[in-house]
Amino acid sequence: MTKRRALGKGLSALIPEDPLTSARDPRFLECPIEAIEPNPYQPRQHFQGPELEELVRSVKAKGIVTPLLVSRTEEGFQLIAGERRWRAAQRAGLQTVPVVVRETTPIESLELALVENIHRKDLNPIEEATAYQKWMEDGQITQSVLAKALGRERSTITNLLRLLKLPPPLQQDLIDGRLSTGHGRVLAGIKERREQQRLRDLIIKNDLSVRQAEALAKKGRGPAPTKSKPAERDAYLHSLAEDLKRSLGTKVAIKQKGRGGRITIYYYSDDELGRLLDRLT
């Protein structure tokens, strides 16, 4: 039960907050950076880009503010969470980094790495779906148990796992950001590969919204409608809310009134409020 509560709160529940207390804690230490090896269960596979370069500059200026989470091995230490910070520290030329040592099983290592990526930095939808699939297989758990552990709707887990049934070229479109998760869900609902590819090309060529793609998928052919019925609009807003929920790692509701409306973002602790504020600002 304690582990599940920690997962729900994110890694802040596992890392000491007071640096003076941390320094006296045998689990907290300054570790030589070369003594740390990457996490083989890391769900995030893409670490390059301007965001990593920005983190490198921050590390050069301020060092590593939040300790890495590691476990002991016979050779040294293995990362559980914090690989972006570890990579940035290497590129910034640091010799040591602060770490918190925690003993874990392989499945717990996957869980904690996945939770950190959800709370701190987006996984692309294929990375997230692959991590969910591995968690279920290695932990021998159901979608319902996984959804409860992550504090998510089972339908969210189900929809993400369906993306893994897409052919590799369409999965790559999701990884590269050419298609959104919502577009991927629409394409995953089409059985015929040729029709999947045809709709994919239309989405990219005409910059179709998820709602427009859904309308084309239902109709089978023809131009996308310019107006939608209320039920279709509700489904579209629900799809957008699910995308925001996955991106922010918390419940999101979208309500439309006339041409405007409101977006409600929920939080369940002061730590989560701070995380959301950091993310949004």
In this structure, of 92-101, 113-122, 225-234, the range with the lowest mean pLDDT score is 225-234
- Residue 116 is a catalytic residue: no
Compute the distance between CA of residue 143 and CA of residue 154 in angstroms, rounded to an integer: 6
Span 102-152, pLDDT tens digits: 887 777 777 777 776 665 555 788 888 888 888 888 778 898 888 887 778
Q: Which two structure tokens, joined as six digits, stand for 53? A: 């370069």
CATH number at 46 reads 3.90.1530.30
Does residue 109 sit in the same domain as residue 184?
Answer: no
Average pLDDT of the segment spanning 64-91: 87
Distance CA 82, CA 93 (A): 17
Which residue spans within the chain are E strands per DSSP? 28-32, 36-37, 68-72, 77-81, 96-101, 252-257, 260-265
Q: Are 118 and 147 in contact (CB under 8 A)?
A: no
Alpha-carbon span 202 to 205, nearest angstrom: 5
- Number of domains making up the chain: 2
Last residue of a domain, which of 68, 101, 121? 121
Domain of 145, CATH number, reads: 1.10.10.2830
Residues 139-150, buried b or exposed e (16+ Cβ, 10 A)?
beeeeeebbebb
The one catalytic residue among 53, 83, 103, 137: 83
pLDDT at 46: 61
Instruction: Give tens-digit pLDDT for 146-185.
Output: 888 777 888 889 999 999 999 999 999 998 889 999 999 9
Q: Is 256 helix (H, G, I), strand (E, B) or coil?
A: strand
11 and 107 together in one domain: yes
Amino acid found at 209: S
Does this model's pTM top 0.75? no
